[in-house]
Amino acid sequence: MLIDIETASPPYKILQSKAAEELKKRMAGRPAISRMIDSAANHSAIESRYIVVPDANDAAENKFYSKDGIYYVPDTKTRMIEYEKWSKELTKSAVSRLFESNNLNPEEINNLITISCTGFFAPGLDYHLINEFKIKSNVKRTNIGFMGCAASVVGFNYVLDILNSRIMEKKNVLLISVELCSLHLQTEPTRDNILANMIFADGCAAALFSNYNHDNSKVKLKLISADSVLFGDSEKYMGWKIGNFGFEMMLSSDLPKIIKEKAVPALNKILNEKNISPDSVKYWALHPGGRAILDALQEGLLLSDEKLIPSRNILSNYGNMSSASILFVLKEIIDKGNISKGDYCCVVAFGPGLTMEVALLKGE
């Protein structure tokens, strides 16, 4: 069962209008570029985002992308130093809240799953969290990296295997996702860079799964299935590489079309095989990868505006936090407290490849 989710956001909040103005300064030059930035911002359905770089604050003395008033392009090593610092801080915050709100002793954690695609260091977050919270040293660890926005749902596959194992003992699985997309700002004035800079953000979420009931007041969702689909000849639609100056993103404008034409039928097939129709799914946790992606899913699945509220709210208030986003959406659904026994919740996210990860949960 999914027992609870807690989140942590960086201290710097930036309005989308402010982000657009800052990006224009950095990409400079042609009016056509400014118009592309304005268009991306205006059509993003994002009001604000949270980021770890202090550049969002005009009064900040130590900015990340400028020195002495001159714009600066940090190398990948410099970005990874900031990634290590902030990923430790945000995961500590989210996990602390999760333990406190559920009155859980960290020694009760049997499995630890850490997820991120925006940075690396070793020993990694698992080592940091084990030491920080005195989690038992023989905890089983899994790290999921570089699998993009779908990585948290990939983690659900492991959770399902762990909780369904034949060993009849109480098990608690801690799953943590942290993404710091703002550390990979790219200022070459390309369409991919403009779009990435206008939608991606930073955030962290920690989720607790168990094979037994916990005594808290939140609604429980039982994880009943997890499915994966890889679409052939699709690597050109989404991906990224590690460059000398951060990670370089590729995001095709055809992605919403491909999702509607290929992903929606595949999703319907998965549900049909379980004798479930989209109409019978009460809650949808759709990855808020962007307004066009949510629109494509809504149109393809014939979903009401009401069913898109959680995903659109997270997009509007937080932007696309890559793999952490879907956990923010699920938290919003759980915190509303309206889930009844037998209600289905379908989780959908997309990763580079193109891949689709689907999880089905049911109210307990």
Express each pLDDT in 187-210 by its tens digit.
Answer: 899 888 999 999 999 999 999 999
pLDDT, tens digit, 9 for 90 and up, residues 229-259: 999 888 888 888 899 999 988 888 888 999 9
The answer to whether residue 173 sits within a structural domain is no
CATH number, position 344: 3.40.47.10
CA 326 to chain centroid: 5
pTM of the predicted model as reported, rounded to 2 decimal places: 0.96
Averaged over 150-176, what is the pLDDT? 92
Contacts of residue 50, defined as CB under 8 A and 6 or more positions apart, other chains included, come to 9, 10, 11, 12, 13, 14, 201, 202, 203, 318, 319
pLDDT over threshold 80, residue 217: no
CA triple 61-63-66, angle to 5 deg: 115
Q: What pLDDT was estimated at residue 30?
A: 79
The answer to whether residue 329 sits within a structural domain is yes
The model's confidence at residue 150, banded by pLDDT at 50, 70 and 90, is: very high
Q: What is the C-alpha separation between 44 and 293, in angstroms, rounded?
A: 10
pLDDT over threshold 80, residue 167: no
**Which residue range(s) make up the domain with 271?**
221-363
The answer to whether residue 256 sits within a structural domain is yes
**Which structure tokens are listed for 247?**
């990670």
> Are the C-beta atoms of 142 and 114 separated by less than 8 Å?
yes
The answer to whether residue 130 sits within a structural domain is no
What are the helix (H) ranges across 28-142? Answer: 31-42, 76-101, 125-133
The model's confidence at residue 61, banded by pLDDT at 50, 70 and 90, is: confident
Q: What is the C-alpha separation between 223 and 156, in angstroms, rounded?
A: 8
Bridge-based pairing of strands 221-230 and 238-243 is unpaired
pLDDT, tens digit, 9 for 90 and up, residues 279-337: 999 999 999 999 999 999 999 999 999 999 999 999 999 999 999 999 999 999 999 87
Phi/psi of residue 310, each to 5°? -60, -45
The answer to whether residue 50 sits within a structural domain is no
Number of domains the chain contains = 1
Averaged over 209-238, what is the pLDDT? 89
The answer to whether residue 166 sits within a structural domain is no
Averaged over 111-118, what is the pLDDT? 98
> Are the C-beta atoms of 72 and 62 separated by less than 8 Å?
no
The answer to whether residue 258 sits within a structural domain is yes
* Average of per-residue pLDDT values in the chain: 93
The answer to whether residue 151 sits within a structural domain is no
